[in-house]
């Protein structure tokens, strides 16, 4: 069966449930852009976004366009709009499982699998909740390393702040040695992220079409 779910999770169990609903607990690193995001995120109930992702692992590459839906406290839904696994999607409801389906003629067949099942992750093993934007931002606070903030210039048509995290121990961070995040100065949401393993870009993703407080309900996340 082809891989059919997306990008995303933090950790299984209680920690995973806690991180899904709000930005990760602030442990090591601080920056004004992180505080601004936290304040903004506290005031919303749900969001939808399109994520354009390019991943590499060894000599393999994967390009996908994902649609993401999230509702507090811990509901997420993804659909692969383009690329490998087009038409596949999945729902996460805060447990250690995802409910997913393939694209094409098999789209009517739903299966529940472990959140880290090879069919439920991206090329680099990213799970659905890990791709949630609040968890993307949260990792810049919780991964040990040297974090700096600077003017990011115009990215995706908006003025940005740039967070640059030099990771202390890449081996404990899936080989990622540096991660850079651009956040809109106006909305404080992330608009682009680039991850490096040494000099190689292993993830380059852009966030577009973000909408908040759209009125999602639990019925939008059938599990």
Sheet holding 200-212, edge to edge: 110-114, 97-101, 89-92, 75-83, 60-71, 46-57, 200-212, 190-197, 178-184, 158-167, 145-155
The DSSP output letter for 176 is -
Q: Report pLDDT for 28.
A: 82
CATH, range 14-220: 2.50.20.10
pLDDT, position 27: 57
Cβ atoms < 10 Å from Cβ of 116: 13
Looking at residue 114, its pLDDT comes to 94
Given a cut of 70, the residues of the chain with pLDDT beneath it are 1-27, 103-109
């Amino acid at each position: 069966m082809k891989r059919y779910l997306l990008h995303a999770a933090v950790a299984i169990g209680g920690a995973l449930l806690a991180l899904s609903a709000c930005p990760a607990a602030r442990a090591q690193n601080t920056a004004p852009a992180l505080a601004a995001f936290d304040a903004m995120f506290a005031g919303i109930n749900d969001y939808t976004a399109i994520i354009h992702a390019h991943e590499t692992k060894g000599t393999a590459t994967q390009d996908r366009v994902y649609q993401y839906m999230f509702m507090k406290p811990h509901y997420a839904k993804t659909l692969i709009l383009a690329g490998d696994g087009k038409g596949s999607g999945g729902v996460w409801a805060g447990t250690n499982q995802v409910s997913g389906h393939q694209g094409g003629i098999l789209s009517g067949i739903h299966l529940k699998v472990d959140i880290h099942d090879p069919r439920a992750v991206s090329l680099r093993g990213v799970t659905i909740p890990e791709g949630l934007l609040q968890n993307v931002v949260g990792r810049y606070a919780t991964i040990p390393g040297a974090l700096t903030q600077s003017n990011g210039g115009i990215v995706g048509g908006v003025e940005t702040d740039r967070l640059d995290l030099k990771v202390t121990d890449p081996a404990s961070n899936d080989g990622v040695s540096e991660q850079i995040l651009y956040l809109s100065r106006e909305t404080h949401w992330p608009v682009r992220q680039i991850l490096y393993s040494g000099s190689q870009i292993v993830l380059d993703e852009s966030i577009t079409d973000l909408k908040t407080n759209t009125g999602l309900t639990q019925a939008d996340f059938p599990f």
